[in-house]
Amino acid sequence: MTSLFSIVLAAILGLLAVASTIGFILQRRATEPGSVATVQNLNARIRSWWIMVAVFGGAILLGDTAVVILFAFLSFMALREFWTLTPSRRGDHLALFLSFFVVLPLHYVLLGTLWYGLFSIFIPVYAFLILPAVATLTGDVNEFLARTARVQWGLMLTVYSISHAPALLMLETGTPPALLLVYLVIVVQLSDVFQYVWGKLLGKHRFSPNISPSKTLEGLIGGGASAILVGTLLYRLTPFSPLQAAAVSTVIVVAGFFGGFVLSAIKRDLNAKDWGYVIEGHGGVLDRLDSITFAAPLFFHIVRYWFTA
Amino acid sequence: MTALVRRLLVLFVRIMVGARSEWRGCTPDTRRRIYFANHNSHVDTVAVMAALPYQVRRLTHPVAARDYWGTSAFRRFIAEKGLRAVLIDRKPLPDSNPLEPLERLLEEGRSILIFPEGTRSSTDEIAPFRSGIYRLACRFPDVDLVPIHLDNLQRILPKGSMLIVPITCTARFGKPLRVEPGEGKDAFLARARAAIIELADGGRTA
């Protein structure tokens, strides 16, 4: 795995170097205020990509425990961003406390100890029943159903869904499981990057102005197709044949689209532009992981159902 | 030792509640100022202190109620050493001037942080201001009063709970104000309170 992974990592670093060079040239050329702002945002994004690649790549090199801890931390940040924007009442306080400090850590412990059976039901069965039960103790019935739904969805999106990316480490497919995670992350993130690039270069028809004003039809199709192409070419990282890799990449890309849209729709509902502010040029952790929330569980179950012994 | 405690306290608060700052109506400055903020959690004081840049923080003293922060050695240590707080009496003796320690600090060129609501409110509403801030403003007419709006703290550590939920808090610093010539107490207090309420609006989309 290390040799294959080294090649992939070297390729990504090479791509980033190219991106940084292009960003530098554009910065010297940009003169009008509109394009200066775009180029500045582009360069901030590229800088953040260097850091994200270093953190993620470093965790992979350190081993499975480091990866699980990294994702537990990302879930924590994402859950926090979710609740910073989402309204809650005094009656939700204990449920939120338990979400952050009991449910999230326990869920990742189950993942780290490879206890798949409990891992897969702990949140959707036990947490989903216990948290509303706890909330009744305060006697606040105001908007109870909506509040329960928010507590559950916060956990579902930011903890349960995201954790299915590191959960790939549990799967024995004949290929090193860390490469499956690398594959998922590359296809999802490249799809976002390609959408951005295609949208900036050719974008004309806005796809869904209400939900995601900057997304264009050209960006979605061009970006999606490019990511599926890369996903197919990278089939050696996976147990898939090239044809299977194309199909699986398609699923990842489509799920990723909808992850982005659903999380954007929630943001619009909450009157926010970004989920957070910790990743320069990108917004919050949840802005970067929105596609993963939908793509990871699907990819996980496809691999688990068809490609494990 | 206390410097280390101070740093750790700020770091802890930054991790737990974010304590992010957003300078809307002014920029950080080491000139003496009177910061005033809405109050609904025990974390308020530390959150504002953590949101201030170090150079400003070291010159700023929050005001804390003696009847809460003075009651145990631990609280006293956190307040007086960790936060450089001044403890004052909320129910002073008739002849004493409870603002005296604050006036002394301002005279020395230091800044203070006060919570003019007097006590933590248990709702999102900002309670009417007590008159101390007006008296300070009249006594120091050339000092800027900087309004601060703290969001979310109510939800991070509500009154009556010991459990911290690590939602992010933003301290939003508004446009400084001073007492206008001939402005009465009620008018000024209303204006100061409105300045904080105004900062609460539209924060999410900004």
In this predicted model, what pLDDT tens digit does every residue of B128-142 receive, in sequence order?
898 899 999 999 999
Average pLDDT value for chain A: 94
Is the pLDDT reported for residue A307 higher than 90?
A: yes
pLDDT of residue A280: 86
CA of residue B72 relative to chain centroid, distance: 22
pLDDT at A179: 94
- Identity of the residue in B18, B161, B204 whose CB atom sits nearest the CB atom of A93: B161
Q: How much is the mean pLDDT over chain B?
A: 87
The per-residue pLDDT for A234 is 95
**How close does chain B come to A245, measured CA to CA in Å?**
40
Cβ within 8 Å, pair B204-A93: no
- B45 has a pLDDT exceeding 90: no
Q: Considering only CA atoms, which of A146, A145, A90, A154 is closest in space to residue A123?
A: A154
CB < 8 Å from A in window 137-176 of B: 152, 155, 158, 161, 163-168
- For A102, name the nearest residue in chain B, comparing CA atoms only: B165
The answer to whether the beta carbons of residues A19 and A52 sit under 8 Å apart is no
pTM of the model as a whole: 0.88
C-alpha–C-alpha distance, residues B127 and A291, integer Å:
43
Nearest to A273 by CA among A195, A211, A207: A211
For residue B11, the model assigns a pLDDT of 82
Chain position carrying tokens 């400055």: B29
User: Most B CBs within 10 Å: which of A82, A84, A134, A140, as the mutation test of the B interface?
Assistant: A84
For residue range B89-120, what is the model confidence (pLDDT) as tens digits?
Answer: 877 777 778 888 899 999 999 999 999 987 76
- How large is the average pLDDT for residues A234-249? 96
Closest CA to A58 of A50, A66, A69, A49: A66
Residue A1 pLDDT > 80, yes or no?
no
Between A213 and A251, name the one with better pLDDT: A251
Report d(CA A107, CA A99) in Å as an integer. Answer: 10
Please state, in angstroms and rounded to a whole number, the distance separating the CA atoms of residues A5 and A234.
Answer: 11
The band of A177, judged by pLDDT with boundaries at 50, 70 and 90, is very high
Mean pLDDT in residue range A27-53: 90
Substitution target from B120, B155, B205 for chain A, most A beta carbons within 10 A: B155
Return the SS3 of A271: coil
CB-CB contact of A275 with A267 (8 Å)? yes
Separation between Cα atoms, residue B56 and residue B29, nearest integer Å: 6
What interface predicted TM-score (ipTM) does this complex get? 0.80
Q: Which two tokens stand for residue B90?
A: 């909320």
Q: Quickly state the pLDDT bin for B121 (edges 50, 70, 90).
A: low
Cα-based distances in Å from B176 to A289, B52, B142, B191: 39, 16, 11, 12
Of the listed ranges A36-45, A183-192, B74-83, the least confidently predicted one is B74-83
Q: Tell whether A139 lies on the interface with B, counting CB pairs under 8 A.
A: no
Cα Dmax for chain A: 62
Asked whether the predicted pLDDT for residue B14 surpasses 90, the reply is: no
The percent of residues in chain B predicted with pLDDT above 90, rounded, is 42
| Region B63-76 average pLDDT | 86
The position carrying tokens 């003169």 is A31
In tens, the pLDDT along A255-274 reads 999 999 999 999 999 988 89
Neighbouring residues of A24: CB distance < 8 A, sequence distance ≥ 6: A43
Nearest CA in chain A to B20: A277
Using a CB-CB cut-off of 8 Å, the residues of chain B touching A76 are 166
Tell which A residues from 265 to 284 touch B, by Cβ distance under 8 Å: 270-273, 276-277
Q: Quick one: pLDDT at residue B94?
A: 74
Alpha helices in chain A (DSSP H): 2-29, 33-62, 64-85, 93-98, 104-112, 116-121, 128-136, 144-155, 162-163, 177-202, 217-233, 242-269, 285-307
- Which candidate in A82, A92, A93 is best for mutational testing of the B interface (most B CBs within 10 A)? A93
